[in-house]
Amino acid sequence: MYQDQELTIRPILENDLERLWELIYKDEQPEWKKWDAPYYPHKAMPYDQFIKSNQDWIGDDSYWVIEVDGIVRGIVSYYWEHEPSKWLEMGIVLHEAGSWGNGIGTRALKLWINHLFNTMPLVRVGFTTWSGNERMIRVGEKLGMQMEARLRKVRLYEGQYYDSIRMGMLREEWEAFNH
């Protein structure tokens, strides 16, 4: 668990599951999906179907919840792009529009990056987003990340092409940026 004032990131507990279902799978077209890879389909899921997968969430260190004032507002995550070379990509989703634009995502991702560098022998951390998600690109910039790749016009959303954006940071850059 890591904290920054009223904000906490921590592993998922069983009593978080209903809230996670509400945030992620209750609605067919949730607002957050317009920003989180909207070019991939999203499927709502009944709670009884979601709860069958509860062991996929509990105890999985690659997903943690973001809690603000004791209320789960989203998740941070990571996945291995290529584990043998320690190439890890991370992500964040704040599932409620009221949580956007006030620094929560930047603060949560900073805690998550600290956790990842503190607990794994990583050389680099990064994330992939799309040029339509300017807030996410700004979060990366505020955390000292560099734009490492821009694949032009590879994401089609609502009839318009967008770029795929990769941002990242090396361990030594993170240490220098935070000291």
pTM of the model: 0.93
CB 11 within 8 A of CB 19: no
Q: CA 53 to CA 58: how far, in whole Å?
A: 9
Give pLDDT, residue 52: 84
Strands 124-130 and 160-170: antiparallel
Q: What is the DSSP string of 10-76?
A: EE--GGGHHHHHHHHTS-SS-GGGGTS-TTS------HHHHHTTHHHHTT-TTEEEEEETTEEEEEE
Residue 5 pLDDT greater than 90, yes or no: yes
Angle between helices 104-119 and 134-142 (to 10 degrees): 50
CB 66 within 8 A of CB 72: yes
Query: Residue 158: its pLDDT value, please?
Result: 94
Task: Tell me the mean pLDDT in the region 133-148.
Answer: 96
- pLDDT at residue 146 in the model: 96
pLDDT (tens digit per residue) in 148-179: 999 999 999 999 999 999 999 999 999 998 87
Position 62 confidence tier, pLDDT thresholds 50, 70, 90: very high
Place of tokens 């959303």: 157
Domains of the chain in sequence order: 2-125 (3.40.630.30)
Which positions ≥6 away from 83 have C-beta within 8 Å? none
Q: Can you tell me the mean pLDDT for 76-84? A: 96
Among 75, 93, 61, 62, CA closest to 17: 75
Of the chain, the end-to-end C-alpha distance in Å amounts to 21
- Biggest CA–CA distance in the chain, Å, is 47
pLDDT score of 55:
73
Which residues does residue 4 pair with via DSSP β-bridges, in sequence order? 7
